[in-house]
Every structure is written in C-alpha cells, then in structure tokens.
Structure 1
C-alpha cells in the first residue's frame, strides 16, 4: 500500500539533504510519495503522514539554522497523529554527537508524536557517504513496518 512521507531536513553543509534525497529516491522506487521540506514549516507538513526527519548537528550541539524555526513550532503543537523516523548525522569526535537528532526526537515525543523505531545516528567518520547507511537502515525499517 502506498504511503505519503514528509521528509524534514535540517542541514548546514548539505549532508542531511543528500540523505533526504537518497531516502526520497528509495520511496519513489517503492511506490510511495513524498515531500521534501528544506525549510520546514509545521503549517505545510501533514501530521497524518509519516515523517522522516534527517538532521545534522551544528556548532556546540545545536540544530542547523534551517530547522530551528520548525523545532520552535513543535513546542505546544499536537503531534499525536505523527509517526516519525529520525536520522541523525554527526561526528563521534565531538561530545555533542547527534545532539540535533536527539533534540528533534525529544520535541516530537514532547508534542505527543510517536517514533516508529529508535533513531539512526550516523557517524560520518565511519560512514563518509552517510546516505548509503541511511538508505539501508530506512529500507529495512520500511520493509518491516
């Protein structure tokens, strides 16, 4: 059965965008539809669709600039209809590894949303092409959903 996915991107240097594009290609190939949100705005994102949040971490553990307004919108929002996957990109040489993804997980849960499975944290030191690891993980989760 075909489903619609809302792909929400938090990126500074483009790596999370590459992951989002690779996930989108996999969804297309599997007969699903999607919308990619490079400047996410809660008013434009369907809560009845499955969310895929792909975000990096920036600076001292902050969310990328483009997703910060969206993260703020989640405060006090009703996400009880939301089922989400979270994919985080980070570098384990920093003690703030994947804090951006962890922050998005917390905000989704605090607003009543459900994480379909534990988040994927990709260490770019181990996976220099993070989209490969993300697509493999996502396809496995999608097949078992």
Structure 2
C-alpha cells in the first residue's frame, strides 16, 4: 500500500491546520498517512514515502521560515524520482510576494525529481472551511494518483 507524508512548518497553527486537513483527505482513501512537523523529521525520511506533501508559511518578502531552512537545505542530494508531490502554505497578501515559500518548496521538489501532481494550495492566514476542503481534496488527489 502506498505511503504518504504530510510535512509542515507552522508558527501560528494555520499551516498545521491545513496539513491536518490534507492528511485527513488522504486517509479517507485508506492510505497509510503520516503528518508531522519538519523539525521532527529528517529529509532522508522522504525516501520512505510514495506521496510527499510539504507545507510552510511564508516569512517576510516571500521567504522560507527560518525553522524550515535546515530541512530545506538538507534535501539537496535526494533523488525523489518516482515520488508524487505537492506543496501548500499560508501567506499574507499585504506583502509583495504572496506565499513565496510554497513556490520555493514546489520548485525544490521538482528539482529533486518529484512529479508535482496537483496545483499548490495557497491560503491567507487561517484557512477557511472551503480552503480546508480544498486541502482534503489535495490529499485525495495525491492518493488517487498513487492508487491508480
């Protein structure tokens, strides 16, 4: 059975809530799903999963948050070929770059060979009920690709 990891970095809990919604959507398909914070994980763990969903909030002018930088940099050298992936995260539209961390993560996943299987999910501050439903659909979509 395919395994999925939903990995996230959250400061205020907004990205964590979305990670939980995404994980719930994937779990609804019957897959083995792990949801954990990036600081509790090692990049090599990604190799154990068929589906990889990574989320982070955007800091400053479109940057990755400091507490995610080590994990991000340590991803270099991984070969994620054959992995199905997607990115998600929260941001603030008052900044010039909205949800830039999501784009950075998606680009890294692509650079490492992962197939991006659905559009990234960006939301402002705390996700609305509709956005959380989009998160569940993202989880189900990745699971659907893995089970096809």
Question: What's the TM-score once normalised by structure 1's chain length?
Answer: 0.81
Deviation at 1:48, TM superposition (A): 4.4
Higher relative contact order structure (alpha carbons within 8 Å, sequence separation ≥ 6): 2
Could you tell me which residue of structure 2 aligns to residue 21 of structure 1?
A: 20
Q: C-alpha distance in 2, partners of 1:144/1:26? A: 11
Tell me how far 1:4 sits from its aligned partner: 1.3
Q: Given that residues 118 and 142 in structure 2 are in contact (C-alpha distance below 8 angstroms), is that contact kept between their aligned partners in structure 1?
A: no
Do 2:5 and 2:51's aligned partners in 1 also have CA atoms closer than 8 Å?
yes
Q: Which shows bigger deviation, 25-34 or 107-116?
A: 25-34
Q: How does 1:77-92 map to 2 (within 5 A)?
A: 77-92=78-93
Q: Decide which structure has greater helix share.
A: 2
RMSD: 2.3
- Note the C-alpha offset of 1:61: 1.8
Unaligned runs of 5+ in 1: none
- C-alpha separation in 2, matches of 1:71 and 1:110: 12
Corresponding residue of 2:29 = 30
* Number of residue pairs matched by the alignment: 142
Partners of 1:122 and 1:133 within 8 A in 2: no
Stretches of structure 2 that go unaligned for 5 or more consecutive residues are none
Pair 114,143 (structure 1): closer, same or farther in 2 beyond 3 Å: closer
Q: CA deviation at 1:71?
A: 0.8
Measured at CA, do residues 138 and 27 of structure 1 come closer, stay the same or move farther in structure 2, by a change above 3 Å?
Answer: closer
In the alignment, the residues of structure 1 paired with residue 9 and residue 33 of structure 2 have an alpha-carbon distance, to the nearest angstrom, of 17
1:4 aligns with 2:6: no
Q: Residues 60 and 27 of structure 1: is their aligned pair in 2 closer, same or farther, counting only changes over 3 Å?
A: same
